[in-house]
């Protein structure tokens, strides 16, 4: 069963923690999420929305519950889960699932490409999340790959790694 809208309509940091243990589901299979990173709006210099609404980031301004899929390094499609309320651009990067570390490897295994951008996770038959109540203890750590962000934003403990 798809997660309800209320799950997604919370802040990205809360959703990032709560996604640990949730199942990422596609036609290719399902995987338990084990690593996430939160990105919190225009004031977060690590967030794609830091420069405001653009054609690329418009999906982040939708109400929580949409997929934001973008191309990284011109090679890897990366999956983010849009969170929060409409016009409050926040998202959670899915960095890892059980047995598959790395956001590019996750999308490759799940068959997620750029056509999944803006997919509605509340009713999609191609991509959705399910919660069976599994929870993991976790470690909070700084986000990675954001050297362009301010020192303050680089140090935020908004990366969550499950202890499986």
pLDDT for the residue 129? 98
pLDDT for the residue 1? 79
* Number of domains, the chain: 1
Note the pLDDT tens digit of each residue in 65-98: 999 999 887 788 999 999 999 999 999 999 999 9
Burial 80-96 (b: 16+ CB within 10 A, else e): bbbbbeeebbbbbbbbb
pLDDT for the residue 118? 97
pLDDT for the residue 121? 98
pLDDT for the residue 109? 97
Token representation of residue 54 = 């653009």
What domain range is 141 assigned to?
A: 5-163
- Who's near 35: CB < 8 A, 6+ residues apart? 20, 94, 95, 96, 97, 101, 159, 160, 161, 162
Segments in the chain below pLDDT 70:
none
The 3-state DSSP class for residue 9 equals coil
In a 13 Å sphere around the CA of 104, the CA atoms on its Cβ side amount to: 6
CATH of the domain at 121: 3.10.300.10
Q: State the DSSP code for 61.
A: G
Quick one: residue 118, left, alpha or beta (phi over 0 = left, psi -120 to 50 = alpha)?
left
pLDDT for the residue 72? 84
């Amino acid at each position: 069963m798809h997660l309800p809208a209320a799950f997604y309509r919370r802040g990205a940091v809360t959703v990032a923690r709560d996604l640990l243990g949730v199942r990422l589901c596609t036609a290719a299979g399902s995987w338990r999420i084990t690593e996430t990173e939160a990105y919190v709006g225009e004031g977060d210099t690590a967030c794609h929305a830091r420069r405001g609404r653009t054609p690329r980031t418009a999906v982040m301004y939708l109400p929580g519950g949409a997929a934001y899929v973008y191309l990284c390094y011109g090679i890897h499609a990366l999956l983010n889960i849009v969170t929060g309320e409409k016009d409050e651009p926040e998202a959670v990067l899915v960095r890892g699932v059980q047995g598959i570390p790395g956001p590019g490897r996750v999308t490759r295994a799940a068959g997620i490409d750029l056509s999944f951008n803006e997919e509605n996770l509340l009713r999609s038959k191609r991509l959705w999340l399910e919660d069976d109540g599994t929870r993991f203890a976790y470690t909070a750590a700084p986000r990675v790959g954001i050297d362009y962000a301010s020192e303050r934003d680089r140090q935020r403990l908004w990366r969550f790694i499950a202890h499986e």
